[in-house]
Structure 1
Amino acid sequence: MVQPLVESIAAEADPEVAATLARFFQVRPGGYGEGDVFVGLKLSRLRVLARPYTRTPVDPADWLPLLHSPVHEHRLACLVIWSERAERGETAERAAIAELYLANTDRVNNWDLVDASAGPIVGGRILDPDGDHALLDRLARSALLWDRRIAMVATHQLIRAGVTADTYRIAELLLDDNHDLIHKAVGWMMREAGKRVDEAELLAFLDRWAGRMPRTALRYAIERLDPDTRRHYLGQRAG
């Protein structure tokens, strides 16, 4: 199953798109995507190519070679397939996907890979009756940047189910993180929790922590609030 998809990706590869993506995802020396290889396919097209492989249960191990490919689009295709099956599959299939995903988070190594997969795979698994919410805390304390972003973005699936406690707990754990990609994820999930579930919860968190939050996280979190409220929380910034 893997090889036909690899061939489909190769057939549609576009060097100009690859160059644009490489710049956008910081493949340059010192960038967070340093060393990654793009062939030039956007996520929307990858989803179309992957769709036939998502309609029936999968053994996630069959797709692991794609996740270990040096090609970014191969890794993304694997994660799209796993994520679709995590949404559609029975508990046993979701558990198998999550287990293999968590054993290979070093290969989920750019923000688009995390954002396409953490919610359905990790967040969805946590929502299962035997789900372990403490998994998010372990990921949030990891030295690996991508684990920490997974911890935060995974809560999007919980927010969609009306569960916000994990979002705010992990946001608090990550208050002092020094990476911009974590600041963005924290603010994004807080904004989503306030928008989708309870704005009062968001305001209560901000009342306590706005002065300590990184500027980027704070701006993302307050984006949908009214102008006066945004100015109030921006004014809480510590010196």
Structure 2
Amino acid sequence: MTNCNQYRAYHRELLARLKAVSTAENVTAMARFFSHEVNFIGVKAPMIKQLVQEFQAEQTQLEANGYLALTEHILEHAKYTEEVLLAFGLINKFVKRHYDEKLLLRFEYWLEHYVSNWSHVDDLCIKTIYQYMLSRPHLIESTQGWSKSTNPWCRRASNVVWVKFIKRKIGKSTFRLSKLLIFENCDRLLKDEDPFVQKSVGWLLKVAAVEHEEDVIRYLKNNINSMQRGTLRYAIEKLDPCIRKQLLSFTKG
């Protein structure tokens, strides 16, 4: 069985590969998307994905549980944001067919202890947890509890994890996320002081409007006075221009 020393060696190797393809130009370019300090090494997402694929092609002896252990080792010791993204990427191809329902608790733990910026949240939710939920749709709505977390990244995740499941074909059936839960989550987080949580509220409402336009417009009108303008702008992004103009006019003065 692979021991801690071996995971440490794997981590060093992967970090060395990240540094080998990093550039100062990438650090500068990536920093523009963040309003707070983030510790970059300077590697963009496509290259991180390529490094993961190359590593996995070489380390064929590592199975699903070994990669999960390596992911947790890297998360525990990561110093750069790209290390965290790489750690998530190591299990992406395994989560749909491997692991049990306890992994959902690990995801919550990672959000509360290892995630430190919006890209971590979105990458974990949109790629890793999305694949995980495709084979466990009965767990999708259970993540609503994340909205009660004391950690803002976990609260953001409670919205982001749902954006691809408003309506989703899964196998021969279609999963539809409960409208009640969508609006309950928004109610709970509408006055959240964290700007990234607010953006996630707008994001969830925006994608919900594709399937539930009238309900979302009604919700926006009913809550317009307690909604931050930035959140509203995210939410109305895909609505008809006339409706967008009308909703924005309600906030004037």
- Same fold flag (TM > 0.5): yes
Gaps of 5+ in 2: 1-9, 169-175
Alignment of 1:1-239 (within 5 A): 1-26=10-35, 31=36, 33=37, 36-52=38-54, 58-59=64-65, 60-68=68-76, 69-86=78-95, 89-90=96-97, 92-93=98-99, 95-105=101-111, 106-122=113-129, 128=136, 130-131=138-139, 133-136=141-144, 138-161=145-168, 162-165=176-179, 166-195=181-210, 197-237=211-251
State the SS of the aligned residue for 2:163. helix
1:199 positional shift: 1.7
Residue 116 of structure 2 aligns with an amino acid whose one-letter code is N
Which of structures 1 and 2 has the bigger CA Rg?
2
1:52 positional shift: 4.5
Cα distance, 1:210–1:76 mapped onto 2, change above 3 Å: same
Structure 2 distance, partners of 1:21, 1:139, is 28
Cα distance, 1:198–1:8 mapped onto 2, change above 3 Å: same
1:109-156, Cα deviation, whole Å (9 max, x unpaired): 1101111112444456566255263432x3212221111111110111
1:189 positional shift: 1.7
Cα distance, 1:23–1:178 mapped onto 2, change above 3 Å: same
CA contact (8 A) 1:95 1:125 kept: no
Residue 194 of structure 2 aligns with an amino acid whose one-letter code is H
1:192 positional shift: 1.2
Root-mean-square deviation over aligned CA pairs: 2.7
Structure 2 distance, partners of 1:184, 1:110, is 13
1:218 positional shift: 0.5
Structure 2 distance, partners of 1:13, 1:211, is 46
Structure 2 distance, partners of 1:99, 1:52, is 29
| Equivalent pairs, count | 227
1:138-191, Cα deviation, whole Å (9 max, x unpaired): 321222111111111011132242325233321121110112211211111211
Structure 2 distance, partners of 1:213, 1:238, is 13
TM-score norm. by structure 2 comes to 0.77
Cα distance, 1:116–1:72 mapped onto 2, change above 3 Å: same
1:54 positional shift: 6.8
